[in-house]
A and B are shown apart, each in its own frame.
Chain A
Amino acid sequence: MTSVIRRRAPLRAALNPAWFALLPMALAAVVVYLGSFLWSLRISLTGSRSLPLHDYVGLAQYQRLFANDRWLHSLQNLAIYSPLYLAGCLALGFLLALLVDRQLRGGGALRAIFLYPYALSFIATGLIWQWLLNPELGIQQAVRAWGFPAFRFDWLVDQDHAIYAIVLATIWQGAGLVMAILLAGLRGIDPDILRAARVDGVPGWRVQTSIVIPMLGYAFATAALLLLTAAVKLYDAVVAMTQGGPGTASEVPAKFIMDHLFGRANLALASAGATVMAITVVALLAPLLYARGRAARVRA
């Protein structure tokens, strides 16, 4: 999806063996994912409440969705959150990867330490963040007690900044994984290739730019796409840290969808929300991929 599509002579095999290998994937993609998407699409056109019904109401749910302040605010929050989260995780993850990569001894332990936040579910760490960022209990209080009475750090309880507090906490959790992916990218480079390049007298900077960086490019693409899926599905951290508050200040689309799916027993509206998100993702990513595909073809 993110790679360069190379056009070379197709492998002439009577029956491409890849097809057999891809059968489970095809089943999952078509039956489960496409099927579920079409199912959601259909439900979004009905008046389903707790359970699916088939009383079609046209686009009424979509009208309701886009008349809903909370949904619109959720989309806005996601637009703020996603780029910051992506940039933050990639930058921090890259720094950590470089740090660990240089550290020949103890690298493994360092890696485990940086990865550890990823293992802790937000159900409990959310509470710690809540306390740390609470102006009466956490960092603000502590710094004031150390003699800086004017110090302010109250993002979590501030309508305009709560979403940034969530950015902070999720970067802390996600950066370790990005580091691991980039490290794997760095270390997946076959030593033979590098040795061969050296034997051929390719200068070191060329090795970096034409072998190492492109290779990391793929790792970056993997990480970015992974983070993007996490951003779109952002839910746990919000529930654990702010429950969407103060007020509705840190609401996000996935939380809107989840709240309506079960708690508010409005399956149809939730499905409409999910459909809008899926279509938005396609609308944003498809042109990008098409352009990359074209560029690759032109080059070839």
Chain B
Amino acid sequence: MPAASNRIIALSALLCAGGLADAAPATAPAAPRAEVLHWWTSGGESAAVRTLADAYRAAGGIWLDTAIAGSEQARAVALSRIAGGDPPTAALFNASRQFRDLIDQGLLNDVDAVAEREHWSQFLPAVLLDTLRVNGHYYAAPVSIHMPTWIWYSKAAFRKAGIAAEPRSFADLFAALDKLKAAGLIPLAHGGQAWQDNIVFRAVLANEGGADLYLRILRDRDPRAIASPEFRRVLLTFRRLHAYVDAGSPGRNWNDATALLITGRAGVQIMGDWVKAEFASAQQNAGRDYGCIAGFGPRSPYIVQGDAFIFPKSADPQAPRAQQLLAATVTSGAAQLAFSSRKGSIPVRADIDASTLDYCARLGVEIMKDKSRQLGNDEAYLTPDQNGAMADVLTDYWNRERDVAQVQKSIAAALRD
């Protein structure tokens, strides 16, 4: 009974936070009010965030919605408002190092009470936990896990190109891309924007380089790993993919690339699981019209790109109560399932039954059961600044013939603090 348990969790949060909402309405303090700042604004996102708002309302809270499209933009407004002394009750960030400075400067409230009561440490994946828990305190409530490096393919395009089996390795993938090209289709539908170039790079790093190299590069920023022949091979494979994009690729939005798959004009796209929303709005189904590959081989990693609410300190003495209720509500099993099914992500909890989710999401949940296959997203290890500097190098390399050894040097320089 997920709905009921949700209610109980939320209610207990309310009680623990000092409220007695149902028991004595006459003397009860006002319902907790939370102004929630987030960047979920489009159709599917909107439906997803509404499930959270509804759950919060059901738990006795008042949800004031401040939606700002574009994650950077939303974070910019959150930071400005925190600096100006007028912070929202909760703000969406990526579960990453993006809010580490805020923690260091003592600007966030922790939600230890909720996290400990609910035993977050037992069901949250370690890579996610590491971004939320700093010096033993929990500073954010996770909402969703996206996987940025899925490989999507159009079944119609594959049929037309005579590709029978799903690629299981980079060799297979290149063979398939060649066949697509021969069939006169766009082999790789790619949106040539820096962040999308970087997603392709991460897909190659995780699958061709492997989890170990991935961590040595992104987490350890190990100069020897960056200079290694293995990493060189990753960079060459990454650049080799460029031969399969069409002339219209630069600057293209990711959804326009997905439209090429939907209409069967292109074969493959490497992109996060949010593309499912585009397929869905064109009435296409996973497994029937398109396929999804999380990675190559039984040990392929699953990259965790988490979203989480942070809770700025404010002058309002009621804020912590509203924040704790929110933290409890959004992480509850029922809210997680309802949210994930609309958002296209997978739940942050490993302890709930995900059989109602779509085919690709279930694949993801299955992989996540093996802890050794969980990897953090680049932003979980790198500061936003390091990450951006590396993105600049990679997008430049993707778009222009460059000596690989030089690129390795530039990456080493970008990651050197």
A interface residue numbers (CB < 8 A to B): 49-52, 69-70, 127, 130, 134-137, 154, 156-157, 159, 162, 241-249, 259-266, 269
Contacts of B400 in A (CB 8 A): 159, 247
Contact of A136 with B248 at beta-carbon distance under 8 Å, contacts A243-B193, A263-B72, A265-B383 already known: yes
Contact B385 A265 (CB under 8 A): yes
4 more contacts with CB within 8 A, not counting A51-B107, A157-B250, A243-B193, are A70-B392, A127-B253, A245-B395, A246-B399
Tell me, yes or no, whether B83 is within 8 Å of chain A by CB: yes
Tell me, yes or no, whether B388 is within 8 Å of chain A by CB: yes
Per the bound structure, the CA–CA distance linking A247 and B250 in Å amounts to 8
Per the bound structure, the CA–CA distance linking A69 and B397 in Å amounts to 13
Contacts of B99 in A (CB 8 A): 50
How many Å from the CB of A238 to the closest CB on chain B?
10
Interface residues of B in 368-403 (CB under 8 A from A): 383-385, 387-389, 392, 395-400
Task: Select from chain A the residue with minimum beta-carbon distance to B395.
Answer: A247
Tell me, yes or no, whether B98 is within 8 Å of chain A by CB: yes
How many Å from the CB of A215 to the closest CB on chain B?
43
Number of cross-chain contacts by CB at 8 Å = 101
How many Å from the CB of B218 to the closest CB on chain A?
16
9 smallest beta-carbon distances between A and B, as pairs = A136-B248, A247-B399, A50-B101, A262-B76, A246-B250, A157-B250, A264-B388, A263-B72, A246-B399
Contacts of B247 in A (CB 8 A): 135-136, 154, 157
Interface centre among A49, A154, A241, A266 (most CB of B within 10 A): A49
Interface centre among A51, A156, A159, A241 (most CB of B within 10 A): A51
Contact A157 B194 (CB under 8 A): no
Contact B250 A156 (CB under 8 A): yes
Contact of A259 with B388 at beta-carbon distance under 8 Å, contacts A51-B79, A245-B399, A249-B399 already known: yes
14 contacts between A and B (CB under 8 A): A50-B101, A130-B252, A134-B248, A135-B248, A157-B192, A157-B251, A242-B251, A243-B194, A245-B250, A245-B395, A246-B251, A247-B397, A263-B72, A269-B385
Contact B101 A262 (CB under 8 A): no
Contacts of B41 in A (CB 8 A): none
Binary interface profile of B, 321-355, with partner A (CB < 8 Å = 1, else 0)?
Answer: 00000000000000000000000000000000000
Per the bound structure, the CA–CA distance linking A136 and B263 in Å amounts to 15
How many Å from the CB of A49 to the closest CB on chain B?
5
Tell me, yes or no, whether B249 is within 8 Å of chain A by CB: yes
Tell me, yes or no, whether B313 is within 8 Å of chain A by CB: no
Contact B384 A242 (CB under 8 A): no
Contact A157 B248 (CB under 8 A): yes
Q: Which of A50, A134, A244 contacts B79 (CB 8 A)?
A: A50
Per the bound structure, the CA–CA distance linking A162 and B399 in Å amounts to 13
